[in-house]
Amino acid sequence: MGRPREFDEQAVLDAAVQSFWKRGYEATSIRDLVKSTGLTGASLYNAFGDKQSIYRRALDHYVEGSIGERIRRCEAMEPRAAIEAFFRDILARSIQDEECKGCMLVNAALDVAPEDPGFRAAVAAVLQRLEDFFLSCVSKGQEKGTITLAWPAEDLARHLLGVLMGVRVLARVKPDRALLEGIVETALALVERNPIDSRDRRPGPGGRPG
Amino acid sequence: MGRPREFDEQAVLDAAVQSFWKRGYEATSIRDLVKSTGLTGASLYNAFGDKQSIYRRALDHYVEGSIGERIRRCEAMEPRAAIEAFFRDILARSIQDEECKGCMLVNAALDVAPEDPGFRAAVAAVLQRLEDFFLSCVSKGQEKGTITLAWPAEDLARHLLGVLMGVRVLARVKPDRALLEGIVETALALVERNPIDSRDRRPGPGGRPG
DNA sequence: TGCATTTTAGAACGGTCGTACTAAAAACGA
DNA sequence: TCGTTTTTAGTACGACCGTTCTAAAATGCA
């Protein structure tokens, strides 16, 4: 069996996430990780493999714990309220994010994804998951009458994904409440059902499913 | 007077932009720049200073040539058409961007801005310029009756800025026409004047200026 | 033509990078 | 208790980093 590990893998991943999240892939060295995780370089390589693998494990760990958790929490809610809760949570976190770390997934999307096909696919898959979450909310909300019928559910979901990315980028440079709230409030009002929905203003292909 | 330079500064900055744009700050080495610009390390340091200064000059060069130029071109148009032309240009460039370089400013916003106050201020200033451009378009459009009165001009401008950032991020990972068009078309329809504008649905503070 | 000045070319510097290696330490099964 | 196996700790390695230095080359001015 051999000597048992002295560290908790989850705690080590938490620390690795913090390092990579704040400074990015290139700017974080193995020696930085040694400092932040508390274990030695050899242990890191034994447990996770090379630097890319460590980053990948950290990113997956972040995604499951942060994004996946948020999606799961919101999926249990009423569709329209789920979208609102999702964005209000993002908004609150972005404004109180004093280190301006933003979202590690978004950072990864511009940092490692364009260079490495593996990372790119991983990031794209999570983006798809977010789009699917929004699409599910919008579709259900359209059926229930709480979400506007003025646009196809697909386009509304894509719009929400785009707005989410935009908020996350701006929060890293200008974490200004008025700016971020202005973006989100407008988006939330956009998806809201309103009187004009009685007519088909923009039928478009693939409109209301079901 | 001494020996004259053998290189064209603008051409060198063009080459530096290409390198930094594609791979980011950390992943681009001085030796990469030596290769892409064609001049030696000593010449680079003589002409521009250290690596940070080279990047800064390259970023400014990109902003003036790409973003500034686009703003100037659109400012001459009718407000509503200016917004549409701006985004259709972004859309076209994003879709045909086979290297998925995205926008160098957005890349800088997540790459160098969070670490360095100087870079951060520079990026924030350009973001403010974009927001001001959108605000100007929206305000004028509201006065002319081509832009919706359903939201304050400030919020619409912020929303457009957020959408712009979102498109630029997604284009680097998933340069999918349907995705990007879905985001932009929804945004363009959002700012469009429509029948509901006859009532003040969302007066809000600082609404229509003038 | 010669001096002053600047740019060139390329080697060289110390430092840090990701990673691999060497042993000691610590648990297991026999 | 001994041998096996794995993790630890620290060092070592070659490569590359940003930057500087040494000379040679090329101009303008006297």
Q: What is the pLDDT of residues B160-176, one digit of tens each?
A: 999 999 999 999 999 99
User: Is the CB of residue A62 less than 8 Å from the CB of residue A112?
Assistant: no
List all nucleotides in chain D with at least one atom under 7 A from a protein Cβ. 4-12, 16-22, 25-29
SS3 A147: strand
Q: What is the pLDDT of residues B172-188, one digit of tens each?
A: 999 999 999 999 999 99
As a whole number of angstroms, the distance between CA A166 and CA A29 comes to: 28
Per-residue pLDDT of chain A (210 residues; tens, 9 = 90+): 777 788 999 999 999 999 999 999 999 999 999 999 999 999 999 999 999 999 999 999 999 999 999 999 999 999 999 999 999 999 999 999 999 999 999 999 999 999 999 999 999 999 999 999 999 999 999 999 999 999 999 999 999 999 999 999 999 999 999 999 999 999 999 999 876 665 444 444 443 333
As a whole number of angstroms, the distance between CA B112 and CA B116 comes to: 6
* pTM score of the predicted model: 0.92
Which among B101, B111, B173 has CB closest to A113? B173
Q: What is the token pair recorded at A190?
A: 């956009």
Per the listing, tokens 């950032």 go with B165
Residue A50 (CA) to nucleotide C19 (C1'), in angstroms, measures 8
**Least confident stretch, B13-17, B48-52, B192-196:** B192-196
Q: Residue B3's pLDDT is what?
A: 73
Q: Residue A209's pLDDT is what?
A: 38
Complete domains list, chain A, with CATH: 9-198 (1.10.357.10)
Name residues whose C-beta falls within 8 Å of residue A202's C-beta, 6 or more positions apart in sequence: A150, A151, A152, B189
User: Residue A10 CA to chain centroid, in angstroms?
Assistant: 20
Phi, psi of A205, deg, nearest 5: -75, 145
Residue B187 (CA) to nucleotide D19 (C1'), in angstroms, measures 48
User: Residue A85 CA to chain centroid, in angstroms?
Assistant: 14
Question: Do residue A110 and residue B114 have CB atoms under 8 angstroms apart?
Answer: no
Q: Residue A197's pLDDT is what?
A: 66
User: Residue A59 CA to chain centroid, in angstroms?
Assistant: 11
